[in-house]
Amino acid sequence: MKNKNKIMSRFELLRTLLAVGIAVVFAVVIIFLVSSQPLEAIYKFFVAPLTSFRYIANIIELMTPLLFTGLAVTFILQTKVYNLAVEGMFYAGGLAAALAATLLKMGPGIHAFTALFAGLAAGALIAFLPAILKLKFEANEIVSSLMLNYITFYIGDFLLKTYMKDPKSTHVASLKFAKTARLFEFTRGIHFGLVIAVVLVIAAWLFLYHTKWGYAIRMCGENKNFAKYSGIGVTGTILLSQIIGGAIAGLGGAAYMMGSQQRFNWEWRSGYGWDGLIIAIIARNNPKFVPVGAFLLAYLRIGSDIMSRGTDVQNEVVSIIQGVIIILIAATGFLAGYKKKLTVKMTREAADA
């Protein structure tokens, strides 16, 4: 059984790598078709991001929030409850942290911790609502979570204009965050939030694969009936996975605000929550592969930005790559024949043994 799981894991890794490879080839073909300088565009897209420290720092800076949201979605999807409010969780985390950073007066260290904790709690709350509606009232979590995103945004708009707005600002934005609430910055764009994200990735992998709670969460995702008959509290376990995922997303929003931003504004809708879904798909819902997915997406985004500024190819190419990757990974028929051959081979080997 252990050998079978290992082989299937390798098969899924192969599917993911092939999906990424095909998407990249598809993008290269498009560049050749639309560009008058295709070789330069390809160089700027795939090579230029590694040619300077500034570009590498940009990749790491973009990776940081992606690590949080990718990890959050990985937790949320473990139990097959499709809570799509991760964008709202991330936004709520940033909003709560901004409230703490502008309205509270505290000393260094404790102020930053309070802002981060406020973001964590806000994200957990947003995750809890669609989950409890699903479990107690059989409400469709996809619909309720999507609607909750908009509710969160408009609540943020009210709080910003009522309690945080800077009267001297020419646009709708909060007062500047107190310096005591800011996260330590290693270099421009790279802050202590990166350390928190890396620690969370390691802790999430250990939790899911080396604790009884992690086993319960994974078992609820595999087969809820079997989990129930095994003595696992399915309702509580599902809520646990949702709350942990929401807390991670909210903490990511808080870290992003306190590390990368100077103030909160209504137009701040990052899209990082939806990016987290892409990363979780690439990572196959395994925390240890989340950094790979986050790096890949950040690398493509920075590369496409460099390409669009230096050539005649627009950075929407990266959206094409994302779309092809998602379609191929989500398509159960992709490499289905090879998977069938592997299954037959393993069955015969087991029978012979």
Q: Using an 8 Å Cβ cutoff, are 68 and 123 in contact?
A: no
* Structural domains of the chain in order of their starting residue, each with its CATH number: 36-312 (1.10.3470)
Q: Please, which residues have CB within 8 angstroms of residue 312's CB and are 6 or more apart in sequence? A: 34, 35, 36, 37, 41
Note the pLDDT of residue 13.
Answer: 77
Q: Average pLDDT in the 17-46 region?
A: 90
**Residue 165 main-chain phi, psi, to 5 deg:** -60, 135
Q: Average pLDDT in the 289-311 region?
A: 93
Q: Using an 8 Å Cβ cutoff, are 55 and 49 in contact?
A: yes
pLDDT surpasses 70 at 84: yes
Cα–Cα distances (Å) from 29 to 17, 22, 24, in that order, read: 18, 11, 9
pTM (predicted TM-score):
0.92
pLDDT surpasses 90 at 333: no
CB-neighbour burial class of residue 194 (10 A; exposed 0-12, middle 13-18, buried 19+): buried
Cα–Cα distances (Å) from 347 to 79, 124, 186, 338, 350, in that order, read: 28, 44, 53, 14, 5
Cα–Cα distances (Å) from 233 to 32, 79, 236, 333, in that order, read: 55, 13, 6, 34
The pLDDT tens digits of the residues spanning 96-150 come to 999 999 999 999 999 999 999 999 999 999 999 999 999 999 999 999 999 999 9
pLDDT surpasses 80 at 267: no
Note the pLDDT of residue 291.
Answer: 96
Note the pLDDT of residue 3.
Answer: 59
Note the pLDDT of residue 56.
Answer: 94
332 C-beta neighbours (distance < 10 Å), count: 8
